[in-house]
Amino acid sequence: MLSKTTTLLYILLIPGLCSAVASDSVFRPPLQQARCRNVPGSLGFPTNDDFSILNKTVSGRLVKVVPFVEYCTSIGGCTFEQFTSSLYRDGVPGAMNQVNWEQDFSSNPPSLCQPQSPSSCGQGDVPLFGILANTVADIQAGVNFARIHNLRLAIKSSGHDYLGRSTAKNSFLISTHNMQNYTFVDDFVSGGKNLGPAVTVQSGVALSTMYAAAKAQGRFVVGGTASTVAAAGGYVQGAGHSSMSPFLGLAADNCLELNVVVADGQLVRANAVENSDLFWAMRGGGAGSWGVIVSATFRTFPTFNAAVSLMTLIARTVDQMAEVAAVHAKHIFDWDVLHAGQYFYLSTSGLFDTVNFITHGPGSNIPTMIIYTYFPNATVDQANTALQPFRDDLLQITGVNRTENVILTEINEILYASDDIVGSNMVMGSRLIPASAYRDPALVGKVYSQLLKQGGVQNILLNLVAGGKVSENADISNAVHPAWRTAKTHLIIANNWADSASIDQVRGNQTIFGRQQLPILEQISGQAAGAYSNEADSLEANFQTTFFGPNYPKLSAIKAKYDPTDLFIVKAGVGSERWDAYGICRMQ
Ligand SMILES: Cc1cc2nc3c(=O)[nH]c(=O)nc-3n(C[C@H](O)[C@H](O)[C@H](O)COP(=O)(O)OP(=O)(O)OC[C@H]3O[C@@H](n4cnc5c(N)ncnc54)[C@H](O)[C@@H]3O)c2cc1C
Ligand SMILES: *[C@@H]1O[C@H](CO)[C@@H](O)[C@H](O)[C@H]1NC(C)=O
Ligand SMILES: *[C@@H]1O[C@H](CO)[C@@H](O)[C@H](O)[C@H]1NC(C)=O
Ligand SMILES: *[C@@H]1O[C@H](CO)[C@@H](O)[C@H](O)[C@H]1NC(C)=O
Ligand SMILES: *[C@@H]1O[C@H](CO)[C@@H](O)[C@H](O)[C@H]1NC(C)=O
Ligand SMILES: *[C@@H]1O[C@H](CO)[C@@H](O)[C@H](O)[C@H]1NC(C)=O
């Protein structure tokens, strides 16, 4: 509720502030701390000559950026499959995976670019120009250009971001999507120590590429369930969860070194010894706030097989689904001995794609719970034994249909996905649910049914990706929110809308998490719960504590050291409290 007021206030304040500054800046040297970034029409905005010189510096890799639908028009149209393919969208500089982030719903009139009206496309919240970086020098040229010309900078590797942090209105883009190199080594030496087997991946490398490459090496790297998310992009900076996290920890816990172009244009190495404060911050301190990652190095493990159960439970009513969920909550610790990870999704709106977080087909109004459980390094028998008490208890609820399939597979193979299905208007809100909440299974079930009935929720996405090694890793010194170390699950609520939605309906969807869903959720999360900053609400009222907890003051100090002019500002990221909602004008 607070967040809504604050955001509206920011939007009202911008025009006044910016015009005051524009006339002011005539009397100031342009490189002093201006209150606003240069946008087209500002005195300090780069000239065509400036852009031409930059284009030569980056060997012609400067592009004009347009929204996805406009791009499609320019090539004679895109298919529906291309529209919804993350793999395809990732190659289009202006495209975001969640299409709402390309739109500017705040201006009056809004600036939109949607498939229904391709001929009336506005630029929306898509960057104006961008560098498709191939080399470190390209990235450095981009960072220097943005800093010298005081531009709003956006960084993107895949465009997956659920908070829309890899795009910004009137911004200049550095895309690291083409940084596709990776190297496996047996002995990774960092800070004078041999840290053992590792892989260094550049910041365009997708998880699917990483899994395929790791499999060929007989190795495994901790990563998420997605095809095109970039391991060395936003993922690791947020924390990076995986179904293998209860077994092997978070991605941030397994990150050994980062190579980063920081705000002054220098390439720095960040590890336990060199720039160790930056290394600490960039493992959990939030995506997009520190510099441009060139590459990240992760520990690798010998590959192993996993027994994986896919269970579908169909209930007669939402109340019965609440009973099912309570039984599930009662058994949620059963699988800890095997360090299992699990995704379990509750839906009332039809067939749910558990890998891509979207609903296919017409809403069917059938309460469904889909449960994927991953038992690392275990046999099918071990998995069945661990699941049996849960199955037995489910039989006590009359009329629930269970179908289940348990398979054994090499871990890279099961985590590999060829594509992610995206392309909807979606925002989300989330909380890390403490393990202690599951000591009251009946309350857990009740809260889910309240969310589904009164919260306007169609899908509750639960990720059992904490506990086990994530808790044991509490002694690792990184910026991962300490709430991860005591959490059992990461609960996401996704809110979707159609392109035909009115601006009021869009606003309704953008704000319903804070207004209506969070108060219900807080019955189990508690009121001071943390949230995973990569899968969360960009309008989170107290993002400093919710996303970063007690780490915020230290993160702020490290940001001031490496990025004194706030070149790297993202929504709800460290330092963003000093900026308006667009990251264009300073508020303080
Ligand atoms: C289908 C799907 C499945 C997912 N599954 C998981 C999962 O299993 N586990 C999990 O933890 N998360 C998961 N996520 C969330 C994911 O971690 C975030 O969306 C993350 O921000 C993606 O990072 P990216 O760099 O690929 O995306 P982008 O949208 O390109 O960037 C995200 C953020 O990182 C910054 N960034 C990107 N590249 C760089 C760079 N080179 N240097 C510095 N900053 C950069 C951007 O500025 C932005 O702030 C999933 C998301 C999707 C869409
Ligand atoms: C940059 O140069 C390349 C190659 O000369 C050209 O194709 C491209 O259009 C230029 N970019 C811009 C934004 O002008
Ligand atoms: C990239 O490629 C070069 C060789 O072309 C290699 O030396 C380097 O180590 C590779 N790896 C990374 C992560 O850059
Ligand atoms: C469960 O399956 C039975 C028989 O296949 C069917 O009659 C019943 O309607 C199903 N129940 C639900 C809730 O889908
Ligand atoms: C999996 O189990 C085998 C045999 O018990 C063991 O040698 C191996 O180290 C385990 N893998 C991991 C990643 O722990
Ligand atoms: C979200 O948008 C849809 C239209 O696509 C609308 O029916 C729904 O009421 C909106 N939700 C809220 C909370 O406003």
List of domains in the chain: 48-175 (3.30.43.10), 182-302+546-550 (3.30.465.10), 305-542 (3.40.462.20)
* Percentage of the chain lying above the pLDDT 90 cut: 87
pLDDT given at position 22? 37
pLDDT given at position 364? 62
Instruction: Please count the other Cβ atoms lying within 10 Å of the Cβ belonging to residue 527.
Output: 8
Nearest CA to ligand 1 atom 41: 293
Please list every protein residue whose CB sits less than 6 Å from any atom of ligand 4.
314, 316, 399, 401
User: What is the pTM (predicted TM-score) of this model?
Assistant: 0.93
CA of 119 to the centre of ligand 2 (A): 24
351, 401, 402: residue to mutate for ligand 4 pocket, most atoms within 8 A of CB? 401
488 close to 435: Cβ distance less than 8 angstroms: yes
* Amino acid sitting at position 3: S
Q: Which of 1-15, 112-126, 305-319, 504-518 has the lowest mean pLDDT?
A: 1-15
CA dist list (Å): 65 to 61, 92, 129, 174, 424:
12, 9, 5, 11, 20
Characterise 445 by phi-psi region: left (phi > 0), alpha (psi -120 to 50), beta (else): alpha
Q: Which of 10-24, 176-190, 201-215 has the lowest mean pLDDT?
A: 10-24
pLDDT given at position 223? 98
Q: Is the CB of 563 under 6 A from ligand 1?
A: no
At residue 360, φ and ψ (nearest 5 deg) are: -100, 150
pLDDT given at position 358? 52
Give the tokens for residue 120: 């009336």
Distant-in-sequence, close-in-space partners of 586: CB < 8 Å, separation ≥ 6: 35, 36, 566, 578, 579, 580
Q: At what angle do helices 441-454 and 518-525 cross, to 10 degrees?
A: 170
Q: Is the CB of 60 under 6 A from ligand 2?
A: yes
Encode pLDDT of 79-122 as tens digits: 999 999 999 999 999 999 999 999 999 999 999 999 999 999 99
Query: Span 468-485, mean pLDDT?
Result: 98
At residue 374, φ and ψ (nearest 5 deg) are: -110, 115
184 close to 556: Cβ distance less than 8 angstroms: no
Encode pLDDT of 367-389 as tens digits: 889 999 999 999 999 999 999 99
Encode pLDDT of 270-284 as tens digits: 999 999 999 999 999
CA of 570 to the centre of ligand 3 (A): 30
CA of 96 to the centre of ligand 3 (A): 28
pLDDT given at position 17? 32
pLDDT given at position 8? 27
Nearest CA to ligand 3 atom 5: 181
Give the tokens for residue 129: 């120009």
> Predicted confidence band at 366 (pLDDT cuts at 50, 70, 90)?
confident
Residue 405 has pLDDT above 70, yes or no: yes
pLDDT given at position 26? 40
Helix (H, G, I), strand (E, B) or coil at 55: helix
Of 352, 385, 384, the residue nearest 370 (C-alpha): 352
pLDDT given at position 348? 83
Ligand 4 atom closest to Cα of residue 400: 13
Ligand 3 atom closest to Cα of residue 202: 13
> Predicted confidence band at 19 (pLDDT cuts at 50, 70, 90)?
very low
Q: At what angle do helices 318-330 and 441-454 cross, to 10 degrees?
A: 150
Nearest CA to ligand 2 atom 13: 63
CA of 492 to the centre of ligand 4 (A): 29
Give the tokens for residue 74: 């320019």
Distance between CA atoms of residues 354 and 343, nearest Å: 8
Q: Which helix (H) or strand (E) holds 493?
A: strand 487-497
Residue 462 has pLDDT above 80, yes or no: yes
pLDDT given at position 454? 87
CA of 51 to the centre of ligand 2 (A): 9
Please list every protein residue whose CB sits less than 6 Å from any atom of ligand 5.
301-302, 304, 377
Q: At what angle do helices 136-148 and 48-57 cross, to 10 degrees?
A: 160
CA of 60 to the centre of ligand 2 (A): 5
Residue with tokens 């979207």: 358
Characterise 526 by phi-psi region: left (phi > 0), alpha (psi -120 to 50), beta (else): left
> Predicted confidence band at 470 (pLDDT cuts at 50, 70, 90)?
very high
14 close to 585: Cβ distance less than 8 angstroms: yes
Strands (E), 76-206: 129-132, 153-156, 172-175, 182-185, 189-190, 193-194, 198-202
Of 342, 346, 345, 350, the residue nearest 318 (C-alpha): 346
Give the tokens for residue 133: 């970086």
Encode pLDDT of 297-352 as tens digits: 999 999 999 999 999 998 989 999 999 999 999 999 999 999 999 999 998 876 55
Helix (H, G, I), strand (E, B) or coil at 113: coil
143 close to 87: Cβ distance less than 8 angstroms: no
* Amino acid sitting at position 393: D
Instruction: Please count the other Cβ atoms lying within 10 Å of the Cβ belonging to residue 302.
Output: 10
> Predicted confidence band at 530 (pLDDT cuts at 50, 70, 90)?
very high
pLDDT given at position 352? 53
Distance between CA atoms of residues 303 and 305, nearest Å: 7
pLDDT given at position 9? 27
Distance of CA 583 to the CA centre of its chain: 19
- To the nearest whole number, what is the mean pLDDT of the chain? 92
> Predicted confidence band at 456 (pLDDT cuts at 50, 70, 90)?
confident
* Percentage of the chain lying above the pLDDT 70 cut: 92
Query: Span 237-260, mean pLDDT?
Result: 98
> Predicted confidence band at 1 (pLDDT cuts at 50, 70, 90)?
very low
Q: Which of 5-9, 74-78, 538-542 has the lowest mean pLDDT?
A: 5-9
Strands 487-497 and 425-434, bridge-based pairing: antiparallel
Residue with tokens 């990776």: 182
CA of 312 to the centre of ligand 4 (A): 13
Q: Is the CB of 58 under 6 A from ligand 2?
A: no
**Better-scored residue on pLDDT, 360 or 572:** 572
> Predicted confidence band at 524 (pLDDT cuts at 50, 70, 90)?
very high
pLDDT given at position 353? 54
pLDDT given at position 349? 73
pLDDT given at position 80? 93
CA of 466 to the centre of ligand 5 (A): 20
